């Protein structure tokens, strides 16, 4: 197997965040501020990433604007020629700070929207008033000439707003929107009973996306895929384990995907002890599911194994207890019944369950 | 890596001036070889035709001007170059990674 160069770095600058969304992609055990990499350490990571072939850096979190040195981090990306993408909730982000980030060379802003309905949005975010700030942030982004993407995580409570979210993104001047169905690992799995939509709602949402794509051709790009629980085949998670990208946690641990810490027994190396190149090439966690040797049947002899790479390792772990199993959302998986059982529960449930909000300390 | 394969329905006028907007950059990809267009959450791998077209998108030259320039530079039939330029730039505009002045 030939080793490819990574294309994308997801830099989780901090796990601190004013929001507590129940589908948060951060691990259940959040890292505290005292363990975060400092400015110089991030500068080194970004330089090493660029030398390794990375072209795009997603500056994420938590809420990345909680870092006071974000301007310096953006400036290093610009110096190195890394395309910098700020992934933010916009909460606490002033137009003055955005102007400074733009000046430092920021390339793109991705702003999250929790819902259209303000009360619902604030309930999902777990923070009253969170939603109200977003319009001003979007306006400040477009006024600076920066491209804006709206990211909307879609789940049971807001899936009926799919079209309204797209309309709103157009009104905010976004060039792109991600209709991102909630993923059920970590916090998302913990909250699955409250998040998993019914099939009819999923079908309506997919139809709304198709209609909006026709209505807004050339106006906004809509990125949306069939949510994997409702699909026949798994998603090509991360474009293949250790193939396209790497994720650096706030304390410098390097993961093949942001949820990889949900897989027990993997040895994650830290940028505090190794170069990014050594980690990419040699760390046991990156090599654990590279290529095809680790695959079991039905993946091993499947003609899609080069397209979906067996699906999501974290999901296989979370549902079957075996990270090397076929992603159970695949209709060929012997564990598809686990997904069907969750879907049947979602069909039967009448009321929305309460959220278990993300936060520090055991959930 | 994203591909630009979908057919474009975008109409491209010869006098329109293509502009690469902020947040979209043409860069060399040393690790994998060749040139790429970096855009929000996208990396478009460029063949040499695409690269030569984009290098001429200076925010001043019209589509017709770019076609003229390529016809001279590559001594190629105008109709074919026009087709290539129109399809490529129209596709990028539809993906919101190119604007018109």
In this structure, the strands spanning A176-181 and A221-224 are parallel
| Distance between B8 CA and the closest CA of chain A, angstroms | 10
> Can you tell me the distance from the alpha carbon of A31 to that of A148, in angstroms, rounded to the nearest whole number?
29
Using an 8 Å CB-CB cutoff, list chain A residues near B1.
7
Q: Check if the beta carbon of residue B67 is closer than 8 Å to that of residue B82.
A: yes
The radius of gyration of chain A from alpha carbons, rounded to an integer in Å, stands at 20
Q: What are phi and psi of A207, to 5 degrees?
A: -65, -40
Q: What percent of chain B has pLDDT over 70?
A: 91
> Can you tell me the distance from the alpha carbon of A303 to that of A321, in angstroms, rounded to the nearest whole number?
25
B23 part of contact set with chain A, CB < 8 Å: yes
* Burial tier of A229 (Cβ tally within 10 Å: 0-12, 13-18, 19+): buried
Q: Check if the beta carbon of residue A184 is closer than 8 Å to that of residue A314.
A: no
Q: What is the structure's pLDDT at B9?
A: 61
> Can you tell me the distance from the alpha carbon of A108 to that of B51, in angstroms, rounded to the nearest whole number?
22
Q: Give which of A77, A29, A39, A36 is closest to A249, Cα–Cα.
A: A36
B20 part of contact set with chain A, CB < 8 Å: no
CB-based contact A53 B24, cutoff 8 Å: no
Numbers of helices and strands, H then E, in chain A: 14, 9
Cβ atoms within 10 Å of B8's Cβ, excluding its own: 19
> Can you tell me the distance from the alpha carbon of A304 to that of A125, in angstroms, rounded to the nearest whole number?
37
Q: What are phi and psi of B17, to 5 degrees?
A: -105, 110
> Can you tell me the distance from the alpha carbon of A48 to that of A248, in angstroms, rounded to the nearest whole number?
12
Using an 8 Å CB-CB cutoff, list chain A residues near B9.
217-218
Q: What is the structure's pLDDT at B8?
A: 57
DSSP-derived letter for residue A196 is P
B29 part of contact set with chain A, CB < 8 Å: yes
Residue B4 pLDDT class (50, 70, 90 cuts): very low
> Can you tell me the distance from the alpha carbon of B22 to that of B47, in angstroms, rounded to the nearest whole number?
22
- Sign of the Cα torsion A331, A336, A341, A342 reads negative
> Can you tell me the distance from the alpha carbon of A117 to that of A311, in angstroms, rounded to the nearest whole number?
34
* Helix/strand/coil percent split, chain B, to 5: 35, 20, 45
CB pairs under 8 A between A and B: 63
Q: Which residue of B has its CA nearest to A51?
A: B31
Matching residue, tokens 């018109």? B100
Per-residue pLDDT tens, chain A, 363 aa: give them: 578 899 999 999 999 999 999 999 999 999 999 999 999 999 999 999 999 999 999 999 999 999 999 999 999 999 999 999 999 999 989 999 999 999 999 999 999 999 999 999 999 999 999 998 899 999 999 999 999 999 999 999 999 999 999 999 999 999 999 999 999 999 999 999 999 999 999 999 999 999 999 999 999 999 998 899 999 999 998 899 999 999 999 999 999 999 999 899 999 999 999 999 999 999 999 999 999 999 999 999 999 999 999 999 999 999 999 999 999 999 999 999 999 999 999 999 987 789 999 988 766
Q: Which of A7, A53, A176 sits opposite B40 (nearest CB)?
A: A176
Q: Check if the beta carbon of residue A206 is closer than 8 Å to that of residue A231.
A: no
Q: Which residue of A has its CA nearest to B93?
A: A218
Q: What is the structure's pLDDT at A361?
A: 77
pTM of the model: 0.95
Q: What is the structure's pLDDT at A238?
A: 86
Q: What's the residue count for chain B?
A: 101
With an 8 Å Cβ cutoff, the interface of chain A facing chain B consists of 5, 7, 52-53, 55-56, 81, 83, 85, 107-108, 110, 145-147, 149, 175-176, 178, 217-221, 223
Q: What is the structure's pLDDT at A362?
A: 65
Q: Which of B1, B21, B40 sits opposite A85 (nearest CB)?
A: B40
Q: What is the structure's pLDDT at A351?
A: 77
């Amino acid at each position: 197997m030939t080793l490819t160069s990574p294309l994308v770095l997801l830099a989780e600058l901090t796990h601190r965040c004013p929001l507590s969304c129940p589908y948060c992609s951060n691990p259940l055990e959040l890292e505290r501020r005292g363990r975060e990499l400092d400015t110089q350490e991030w500068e080194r990571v970004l330089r090493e990433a660029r030398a390794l072939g990375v072209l795009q850096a997603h500056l994420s979190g938590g809420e990345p604007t909680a870092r006071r040195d974000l301007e310096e981090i953006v400036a290093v990306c610009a110096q190195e020629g890394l395309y910098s993408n700020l992934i933010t909730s916009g909460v606490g982000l002033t137009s003055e700070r955005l102007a400074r980030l733009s000046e430092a060379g920021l390339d793109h802003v991705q702003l999250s929207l929790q819902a259209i309905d303000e009360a619902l949005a604030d309930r999902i975010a777990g923070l009253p008033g969170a939603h109200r700030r977003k319009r001003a942030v979007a306006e400040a982004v477009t006024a600076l000439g920066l491209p804006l993407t709206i990211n909307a995580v879609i789940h049971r409570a807001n899936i009926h707003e799919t079209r309204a979210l797209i309309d709103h993104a157009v009104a905010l001047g976004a060039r792109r929107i991600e209709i991102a169905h909630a993923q059920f690992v970590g916090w998302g799995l913990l909250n699955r009973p409250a998040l998993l939509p019914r099939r009819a709602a999923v079908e309506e949402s997919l139809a709304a996306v198709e209609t909006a794509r026709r209505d807004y051709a050339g106006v906004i790009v809509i990125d949306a895929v069939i949510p994997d629980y409702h699909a026949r085949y798994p998603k090509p998670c991360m474009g293949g384990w250790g193939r396209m990208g790497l994720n650096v946690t706030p304390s410098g641990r390097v993961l093949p995907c942001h949820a990889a810490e949900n897989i027990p027994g993997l040895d994650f190396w830290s940028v505090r002890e190794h170069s990014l190149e050594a980690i990419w090439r040699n760390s046991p966690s990156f090599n654990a599911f590279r290529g095809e040797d680790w695959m079991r049947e039905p993946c091993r002899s499947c003609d899609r194994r080069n397209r979906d790479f067996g699906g999501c390792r974290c999901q296989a772990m979370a549902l079957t207890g075996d990270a090397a199993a076929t992603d159970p959302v695949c209709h060929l998986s012997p564990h598809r019944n686990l997904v069907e059982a969750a879907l049947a529960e979602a069909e039967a449930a009448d009321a929305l369950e309460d959220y278990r909000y993300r936060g520090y300390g055991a959930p | 890596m994203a591909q630009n394969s979908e057919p474009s329905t975008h109409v491209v006028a010869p006098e329109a001036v293509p502009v690469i907007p902020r947040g979209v950059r043409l860069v060399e990809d040393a690790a994998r070889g060749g040139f790429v267009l970096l855009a929000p959450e996208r990396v478009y791998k460029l063949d040499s035709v695409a690269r030569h077209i984009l290098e001429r998108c200076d925010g001043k030259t019209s589509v017709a001007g770019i076609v003229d320039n390529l016809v001279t530079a590559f001594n190629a039939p105008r109709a074919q170059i026009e087709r290539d330029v129109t399809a490529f730039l129209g596709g990028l505009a539809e993906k919101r990674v190119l604007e018109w002045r």
